[in-house]
Structure 1
Amino acid sequence: MSYEAVHAVPDGATAVDEFARVASEFGYEGVVVRNHGDALADFDPEAVAARHDIDVVAGVEVRAEDPSRASGFVGNHRDTKTVVAVHGGDPAVNRFAVEQPAVDVLAHPMAGDGDFNHVLAREAVENDVRVEFSFERVLRADGGRRVQALRDLRKLGEIVEEYDVPYVTSADPTSQRHLRSPRDLAAVADTVGFDADLVETGLAEWGRLAERNRFRDSETFVEQGVYLRGESTDAETDEGDFTDGEADDGE
């Protein structure tokens, strides 16, 4: 299972429909549309999915100048978007994102002035927030910016491995020209010193995340580990309790 997370028109140069078509041809099972909150795409996920035989996930990448604004934006989108990411690269916003269970992904934490350390790693694990390995600068930058991007990704990789931080991977495409097939993206990672499994696992995680969140939004989900009888998903724990239509809250 491989999913790519894209920025479509008006946040990028390619429409959702075209991203879905090309991604399907490249062998992806799904695309997550994660436009920034001030440039959301207008599309029908089910219609696009039917046309191109690919899962289309409505997401958002919240971009804010400070944690207080980010908090409001996350709250605004959590009930309407399947995947909620936070635009990383600022130390305070990075810290905010990994402290919020309502956040699914901290996008490109090493961009700009951003950093990722053991404190943030522990928070990300505690709150089940994925960090993103963005290969955008590796693929599309050159010279010093590309060298710095490689250093940043290697540091992130060391911390993620040490603390077992959940993660996703992406080429962070804003155009169909930026898309790489899962095999090609894994090959790029391999040539710059990363295990191809990192890319494969990270691309699959977008899909697992979408599956989990859709289940949590369904009528069969009561709370973590508790489902209506007869319904469960591989994205949730196999040790959950089941109820015949009514959950026991212990009170």
Structure 2
Amino acid sequence: MFFDFHVHGDIQLAKEAKRLGYNGVALIQSSKNYSNEDLSDVTEIEDDFKIFKGIEIFAKNPEDLKKKVQKFRPKVDVLIVNGGNVKINRAACENSQVDILAHPYKNRRDSGINHVLARKASENEVAIELSINSMLKTRSSVRVKTLSQFRQIINLQRKFKFPLIIGSNAHSIYGLRTPQDIITLTKCFDMDLNETIDSLSQTPINIIKKSKIRKNIIVKGVKIVG
């Protein structure tokens, strides 16, 4: 089962993802122009294809991030933080209410993730996203840097075992790639087959499982039953 949890679009874009071989997508809105009505009728296309509601949070600083996470967490299945700023990257990795830190390397020379953040992401089960369009929609010199940043993150993931996820960050059908295409592309930054499949399958599944039980969790490791 393959999922793309970073799709900016509507039902038509979700249908295209289904045609390409996905079993589900998260349709992501920006926190800058969030509208609950836009997602009120989003459930599923067919029984074998699920659509999840998501938000991408753009925050000015860690305190702003914390407030927006508290605001949007009850409203969505998938909560993404727009990364790149080192303080935002760290705040996201330290917050167990965050599902995904997207492109922590954005506008940076390094990967945006170090040993400290990798350990925090692992402890709080925050998935670090590699955006396929970060690699494909750039000029050659930037693409080389992005590949290096991806490799840095993968090496840290192998050591600290934080969740890793691959998303398209697609805004149109032209930004989507088939799962098979992504599996081929990940060889360029040294991911093996099992790592890629986990990033497209197991990590998204775990995010949804966590989302379903989150309201019953009092603190990490303690939840209400019955």
TM-score, length-normalised on structure 1? 0.80
**Cα distance change, pair 191–101 in 1 and its aligned pair in 2 (3 A):** closer
> Shift in Å at residue 226 of structure 1?
4.6
- Aligned-partner residue type, residue 5 of structure 2: A
C-alpha displacement of 1:192: 4.2
- Equivalent residue for 1:196? 193
Question: Residue 103 of structure 1 aligns to which amino acid in structure 2?
Answer: V
Query: Contact 2:168/2:177 (CA < 8 Å) preserved in 1?
Result: yes
| Separation in structure 2 between the aligned mates of residue 16 and residue 69 of structure 1, nearest angstrom | 28
Q: TM-score, normalised by structure 2?
A: 0.88
CA contact (8 A) 1:30 1:207 kept: no
Gaps of 5+ in 2: none
**Structure 1 partner of 2:181:** 184
Structure 1 pair 212/118, CA: closer, same or farther in 2 (3 Å)? same
Structure number having the greater helix percentage: 2
Residues 170-196 of structure 1 deviation map (CA, whole Å, 9 limit, x = unaligned): 122121111111111111112443223
Alignment partner for residue 52 of structure 2, among 57, 67, 70? 57
For residues 133 and 154 of structure 1, the distance between their equivalents in structure 2, rounded to whole angstroms, comes to: 10
Larger of the two Rg values belongs to structure: 1
Q: CA deviation at 1:80?
A: 0.8
Among candidates 16, 20, 28, match of residue 26 of structure 1: 20
Give, as a single letter, the amino acid of the residue that structure 2 aligns with 1:165.
F
CA shift digits 1:210-249 (9 cap, x unpaired)? 13312334xxx46546564xxxxxxxxxxxxxxxx3xxxx
Identity of aligned residues (%): 26
5+ residue gaps, structure 1, are: 9-14, 229-244, 246-251
Letter in structure 1 aligned against 2:13: F
Cα RMSD after superposing both structures: 1.9
Task: Work out whether residues 6 and 35 of structure 1, in 8 Å CA contact, stay in contact via their aligned partners in 2.
Answer: no
Per the alignment, residue 89 of structure 1 pairs with 84
SS in 2 for 1:141: coil
| Paired position in structure 2 for 1:212 | 210
Matches within 5 A, 1:1-251: 1-8=1-8, 15-40=9-34, 42-43=38-39, 44-46=41-43, 49-50=44-45, 53-113=48-108, 115-204=112-201, 205-217=203-215, 221=216, 223=218, 224=221, 226=223, 228=225, 245=226
